[in-house]
Amino acid sequence: MEVKVRCFTEQQCQNMFRGVEDSLYVIGGKWKLKIIIALITHSRFNEILRKVNGISSKVLSNELKDLEINGFVTRHDYKLESPARIEYLLTEHVETLEPVIVALKEWGIMHRKTLTKK
């Protein structure tokens, strides 16, 4: 089987590598995209913790900080309210991930079907 990849020169392949590396640095890993998807309908820490199966509170806290640093999440602290609470909200920058998330979802469905045919 011939594999067709859209990089024809060494420079184009290096650019592809750098772009993928930068993307994975920001949204890669086991949890970040799952957290972003959970944040679509849940904004409080414990809600997210329950929604993202298997994640620990320490890891969730670290991942939320990373997402905040990279501009995908804002943290809102309501200390003066009773009861005090913290909410995490998605920023508009998350919209730039929509085609990536949709493509990953579609590829995942196709891949699962491919594996179950064997």
Query: Of 98, 39, 49, which Cα lies nearest the Cα of 73?
Result: 39
Q: Which residue has the tokens 């979802």?
A: 105
Q: In sequence order, which residues have a C-beta less than 8 Å from that of residue 85 and are 6 or more positions away?
A: 44, 78
For residue 68, count other CB atoms closer than 10 A to its CB.
Answer: 14
Q: Which residue has the tokens 């469905």?
A: 109
Counting Cα atoms < 13 Å in the Cβ hemisphere of 9 gives 3
Q: Do 89 and 38 contact (CB within 8 A), yes or no?
A: no
CATH fold of 30-93, please?
A: Arc Repressor Mutant, subunit A (1.10.10)
pTM: 0.83
Token pair in block for residue 67: 């997402």
**pLDDT tens track, the chain, 118 positions:** 566 666 678 888 899 899 999 999 999 999 999 999 999 999 999 999 999 999 999 999 999 999 999 999 999 999 888 888 899 999 999 999 999 999 999 999 999 999 998 6
- What is residue 41's DSSP assignment? T
What are the φ and ψ backbone dihedral angles of 92, each rounded to 5 degrees?
-65, -25
